[in-house]
Structures are given as structure tokens and as C-alpha cells.
Amino acid sequence: MSGHGSTPPVAPSRSTAGDNLFLRSVAGLSTLAGWTSAAMIVAAVSITCQMIFVRFVLNGSTIWQTEAVIYLVIAATLIGLPYVQLLSGHVNVDLIPLMLAPRARFYMAILTSILSISIMIVMVWYGFEYWHFAWAKGWHSDTVWGVRLWIPYLAIPVGFGLFLLQLIADFVALLLGSEKPFGLET
């Protein structure tokens, strides 16, 4: 947004956690999740390269590689959610918040935070239930590799749980005033 003397919106700085131990701890966990997600993507790319080498250079067959890559990429996506939230990297449409007065923007941020947290609570609950069901029933994939499905399914409650924790930290930062509503200056 530029022109007519308006200032572009400023992305929220996550270094505003200051001395708040909770906010710093959650930011640390989210950063660790981001590094873990990146490592999973590197592992998936490495396995893909190995699979290509085995198939097209050695003319051999592959058993576990495709399935492992699929699980790693899905897990990387879920585990990476809190880090992207920490960096305010999720898609954000701020047309309405830009049009609102600062006080109304604050209340809208509170409402959207509560809704987001509520949805993530449901996702964590059902994600945990799904993971636990796979673990309790001893599910395996229907492939030659036959991976125990509770292992890749664990990414669902863990990823959404860490995302929920980051959303709660964002909500606390909003209430404490260390983060501006929608990252927009008044």
C-alpha cells in the first residue's frame, strides 16, 4: 500500500517477546520445529535423489523411498506450521483490518485469534484421536515396506499442537501489547 502519504503495513516483529518466558519459549519451540521441518525436506530430497539413482542408473527397484518421501513432505508441512506462524508467513488478507480504526482492529484481532485457536483445538483433538487409533490398532501401510502408520500420523497432533501453542503465544502477545493487531501500525 503506497501513495497518498500512507505507510505500508509493517510485519510484526517476533523479537518483541522481551522478558516474557512463555513467549520466548514458544518462539524457541517454533524455531526448532522450523529447523526440523527443513531437515525433513532435505531428507526427502536426498531420498528422491537416491531413488532416481537406484532406478535409472543401477536399473534397480525401490521399495520404501516413495512412501518415505510422501510421509516426510507431509510431516514437514505440518511440523513447519508454527515456524511459518512465528514469521507471520501465512497468507494474510488485511483489507478489512486496514479499513478499521485501531480499537476495532484490536477487537477483530482478538476474535480471529479466538476462532483460530478454537479450530486448532479441534484439529489437535481429532489428530490425536486418529494417531492413537492407528497406534492402538497396530495399523500398517498396505505396501511392501509396511510402515507402522502411527509413526507418520504422529505429525498430525504434534504439528497442529505446536501451531496451537504458537497461536496462543500470538494471542498473549496481542493482549500484552507486545504485538500489534494484524501486525499493522496505527
Cell of 119: 479450530
Round to whole Å and give the CA distance between 169 and 116: 12
Model pTM?
Answer: 0.85
Instruction: Supply the pLDDT for residue 41.
Output: 98
Q: Could you tell me the mean pLDDT of each successive run of 10 residues in the chain, 186 residues long?
A: 43 60 96 98 97 92 93 98 92 82 92 97 98 97 93 98 98 92 78
Instruction: Supply the pLDDT for residue 96.
Output: 85
Q: Structural domain tally of the chain?
A: 1
Residue 100 lies in a domain: yes
Instruction: Supply the pLDDT for residue 7.
Output: 45
First and final C-alpha spacing in the chain:
14
Residue 13 lies in a domain: no
Instruction: Supply the pLDDT for residue 5.
Output: 47
Instruction: Supply the pLDDT for residue 9.
Output: 40
Residue 24 lies in a domain: yes
Q: Are 9 and 98 in contact (CB under 8 A)?
A: yes
Tally the residues of the chain. Answer: 186
Domain limits for position 34: 20-183
Residue 11 lies in a domain: no
Residue 48 lies in a domain: yes
Residue 7 lies in a domain: no
